[in-house]
Amino acid sequence: MNREEQLLAAMVEVVDTLVDDFDLIDFLHHLCDRCNELLDVSAVGVMLSDPTGRLQLIAASDEHTRLLELFALQTDEGPCVECYRTGTARLNIDLRVPSQVTAFPRFAERARQGDFTTSHALPMRLRGQVVGALNLFDTREQKLSETDARVAQALTDVATIAILQHRTLVHANVERAQMKAALSSRVVIEQAKGILAERWQTTPDEAFGALRRHARSHRLALTTLCRQVIDGSDVVRAIQRP
């Protein structure tokens, strides 16, 4: 697909969220994939606020980025954290320039250790309500163009609308239930990734990719498949090794 077709496909995916069995984890991993494809960045992370207003990591494009984003939460600093607090996008942050990372020096150092040189953070915001933030990382010295910045914000906005719309459709207190379920699902997914990575002697990223492909091709919820893996189900034999 060309870029316009990819962008249209991303928008169409939002419509598919307006159903009772909306899988938040899978949807946000799709968002990461779309950002990688459309914006040509190296990595993507998504954080959402829990009912207490604290940020939680929900999705990341790879294991290295997941660990970096967890470090941001542990140290309470980083572009995503700052973006969520202010509700303002920060683009083209050069992680090597001290004057641009004064608010998050420890995060910048950790990111540089992972070969990231540039970061962009966009708020997941609808009017005055900020529900999270999207973080983009690049290992190359390239900035987001004005067009890319608009595409990035458009993807972020439609994802925000999808999340808020689903919460409204399902229940008044769906935010609390959805976040609790998402965090529980995250634990289950990490356990299943670890089991397959150990069994296959491969990386967690490759194990996760195999899980996602099997779940989608067999129309299974990702968390359901991961629970089957943890329970020792024969389904493991059917999952195609990377």
Q: What are the residue ranges spanned by the domains of the chain? A: 3-170, 184-238
Superfamily grouping for domain 3-170 = GAF domain (3.30.450.40)
Q: How far apart are CA 100 and CA 40, in angstroms?
A: 22
Same fold for the pair 3-170 and 184-238 = no
Task: Give which of 141, 147, 157, 150 is closest to 31, Cα–Cα.
Answer: 157
- For tokens 């939680």, the residue is 56
CA 193/CA 186 separation, integer angstroms: 10
Does the reported pTM lie above 0.85? Answer: no
Q: Looking at domain 184-238, which CATH architecture does it have?
A: Orthogonal Bundle (1.10)
User: Do the beta carbons of residue 227 and residue 188 sit within 8 Å?
Assistant: yes
Q: What is the pLDDT along the chain (242 residues), one digit of tens a residue?
A: 566 676 666 666 666 655 556 677 888 888 888 888 888 899 999 999 988 889 999 999 999 999 999 999 999 999 999 999 999 999 999 999 999 999 999 999 999 999 999 999 999 998 888 999 999 999 998 889 888 898 888 888 888 887 787 666 655 555 677 777 788 888 999 999 999 999 999 999 999 999 999 999 999 999 999 999 999 988 888 999 88
